Amino acid sequence: MIDLRLLREDPDRVRASQRARGEDVALVDELLSADERRRSSGVRFDELRAQQKQLGKQVAQAKGDDKTELLKKTKELSDAVKAANAEQDAAAEEAQALLLRIANLVNPEVPVGGEDDFAVLETVGSPRDFAAEGFEPKDHLELGALLGAIDTERAAKVSGSRFYYLTGVGALLELALVNAAIAQATAAGFTPMLTPALVKPRAMEGTGFLGQAAEDVYYLDKDDRYLVGTSEVTLAAYHMDEILDAAQLPLRYAGFSPCFRREAGSHGKDTRGIIRVHQFDKVEMFSFVAPEDAAAEHKRLLDWEKQWLTSLELPFQVIDVASGDLGLSASRKYDCEAWIPTQGKYRELTSTSNCDEFQARRLSVRMREEGKVRPLATLNGTLCAVPRTIVAILENHQQADGSVRVPEVLRPYLGGREVLEPIAR
């Protein structure tokens, strides 16, 4: 959540951020009003409690009619105290609910606009010219069938649309990707983590996934638990309600987990193949840092993502995501989009977000430095979202006979295999 002091001191900045996101600007004034009621009712409550204590001392010393009159005043004052306390609680509850609805402040360098208003920061590598090579590229689903690697038909029979089986070399390719990604992250100083897939409501709300993203979240009502759409949730909540010593920072974790997304708003989008699915595995980087180090850490996360995609020998571009496409928690987000030959365009493969103090305030994760306690900053970055990475590898490294060349970085995890060969029919 944002800092309430900043809201009081510079509400126009918060209004401008909400406007840039395309979010409700009126929430700012509603929150200011609720906060003022909370503070004024708190002052009123404290004054009445002081009067109540003073009156209690007078009652103890009074006698006769004076005592009777004071006891009458005590009853009236007790009712007033209860009313002020109830008013304070109601205003505090309203203020908190409104505060949770206001998004993080947009970084001033972020391009303003919607999904298509991003800025391309860098292009790495060049797409292959398949026409010059003399053949038409197959899409990942055709290649997956030739290799015996992907089965969406049986997955639809068993689980429904947007599910898939990885079989044979497809399963081995996932394991190779996960192991190679974890190896890179470990070499960079990240602690590998296997994280839960189910979380309590506070963890999901604290990371900002019960706001704009709520429609994509799976909820198990009998257990009051949510299925995570990313291990960002479990990694952010790992130090919930803790105070970390500044000397420990930065803390970096690389989480591997299954991810579940309803894809509620994607009707008709990417219905073929495994680009947009309900369940997938992912390796996620997560950092806890001092707020003043957050921007530099964000660039480091981006560099690690670029290192990963370069090692997979994929052509990609880096974009600065526009304000209206940031999500609730991010102040700035960079995406790395790999070229998908059969679609003739770049598609998101990795993403890294700087959330500043926003998630840490919601989850009460703080740092202690020189005896002072303050919120820290959290950042996240996808290293390997498995299905989309498999799509990019199959399509970009395919050969005319339907085989697929294995990037060198993955060969040690595939028994030295240099090529994935079509299976005999």
Any idea which residues carry the catalytic annotation? 261, 276, 348, 351, 388
Closest CA to 381 of 209, 143, 190, 249: 190
Contact 279, 257 (CB under 8 A): no
Closest CA to 229 of 263, 201, 192: 263
Question: Smallest Cα–Cα separation from 388: which of 340, 319, 344?
Answer: 340
User: Residue 411: is it exposed, middle or buried by C-beta count within 10 angstroms (0-12/13-18/19+)?
Assistant: middle
C-alpha 368/C-alpha 366 separation (Å) is 7
Q: What is the CA radius of gyration of the chain?
A: 27
What's the one-letter identity of residue 168?
G
Q: Is 227 helix (H, G, I), strand (E, B) or coil?
A: strand
3-state secondary structure of 254: strand
CB 119 within 8 A of CB 319: yes
- Tell me the C-alpha distance between 363 and 202, whole Å: 8
d(CA 110, CA 112): 6
> 156 is written with which tokens?
């639809």
Q: How does DSSP classify residue 421?
A: P
